[in-house]
Structure 1
């Protein structure tokens, strides 16, 4: 699988090891940076990964920042992306199975690397369940359409 990855300065402590871990599993990795722990603006790096996934240049995206929150907020604004902060392997499983999530966002400050590896394992190996979840994902994705006026109140 082709995976796009990036971090900010707060997540950089885990990114190089995550890149190597993904490669060791046989994945092709597109590393959008940064290449050091120098301060950077996380929206720039989240945007690169999200746009790569949305354009089909990568099948999935992995983002690591201090909490994962800022990365998720940014990535999820890109049409075609379903991004969320994930803090446990179970949530990663459900994110894929129920929501067909394509960009996982994790905390490099508050989640140990071994837990983030387990999260990524679930994120990459769990299939979308389809069925009753497919219609819900379609409803999520209608929010990307500028012509969608929202659900009537």
Structure 2
């Protein structure tokens, strides 16, 4: 497991996917769902790490290895996501700034925002675990097909 590779794939996907969605919208006039913006970076990074793990070890990860990977990968994904959000928060204007000011000024809204953040983190944790294992299983199947 290479956490620097995970972080790099996550970061590249975090930039490439919005550009790709923007290009799709410009070319076709169709705006794909923005939900994919936070799912695909985790999917790409987790699957690639699972594939690399299986290729290097010749096996799928144990449950303990997969959960350990998910824990560290989730911390990386959250750190990168927050680092990407900070400039938006600092330099935000207009509606974004007024929304942020409203959330920060209301204790109840801060609690809701915190709960959403925890929920987001739990979903990312589960997705990292799922896609890491899935990537390893897919790689093991591919290795078996290559062997004949």
Into which bin does the TM-score normalised by the smaller protein fall?
under 0.3
TM-score (norm 1): 0.22
| Greater share of strand | 1
TM-score (norm 2): 0.23
**Greater RCO, CA 8 A, separation 6+:** 2
| Greater share of helix | 2
